[in-house]
Amino acid sequence: MADLDPVIHAQARLRITASLATLGDGESIAFPRLQELLDMTAGNLSTHLRKLEEADYVVVSKTHQGRVPVTYLELTRAGRRAFEDYTESLRRLLGESTERDARAHAEVPPTG
């Protein structure tokens, strides 16, 4: 399990990252909506988001809708990439062949 990204490989952060990765590229989600989708407490969500932000996987943008402050969250390019790599590592550990494996096999000529 040495190559599983420790920033993502914890249940809460894995769920947060997976949820954010479901959104399209360039889409962000308001903190309360994300909280609702994850069914987490605001404090718990904030703690884990901070760790993802420190790793540069999540970007937090604060804005206003009228006078109400709203926080939007979105995966950075590095975050999306890290999540894809993490998913692929999991599949490889579980012995599932991945697209990348298939490409690697295709590039290596068969021996013998």
Partner 1 sequence: MSQASAEGETPLSPAAALAVLNNQQRIVSGRLGSNVWIITGAWGVAWLLGFLVIWVMDSHFSGFALPTWLGWTIFGALFAAAIVVSAVLGIRSGRGIRSNSANSFTGTVYGVTWAVAMLSISVFGAGLLSHGMTTGLADLFYPSAYTLLVGILYLAAAAIWRIVQMIVAGAFLVLLAVVAPFLGHPTNYLVFGIAGGAMFLTLAIVGAVRLRSAVARG
Q: b/e per residue, 23-49, with b = 16+ CB within 10 A?
A: eeeeebbebeebbeebebeeeebeebb
Q: For residues 80 and 109, which CB has a smaller minimum distance to partner 1 in the complex?
A: 80
Q: For residues 30 and 46, which CB has a smaller minimum distance to partner 1 in the complex?
A: 30
Give the whole-angstrom CA distance, residue 99 versus residue 61: 34
DSSP states along 78-94: HHHHHHHHHHHHHHHHT
- Around 46, how many Cα atoms within 13 Å sit in the side-chain half-sphere? 5
For residue 70, the cross-strand partners are: 63
Cβ of residue 6: shortest distance to partner 1, in angstroms?
5
* Binding of residue 112 to partner 1 (CB under 8 A): no
Q: For residues 24 and 112, which CB has a smaller minimum distance to partner 1 in the complex?
A: 24
Site for partner 1 in 36-95 (CB under 8 A): 37-38, 72, 87, 90-91, 93-94
Q: Which residues bind partner 1 (CB under 8 A)?
A: 1, 4, 6, 9-12, 14-15, 18-19, 21-24, 26-30, 32-34, 37-38, 72, 87, 90-91, 93-94
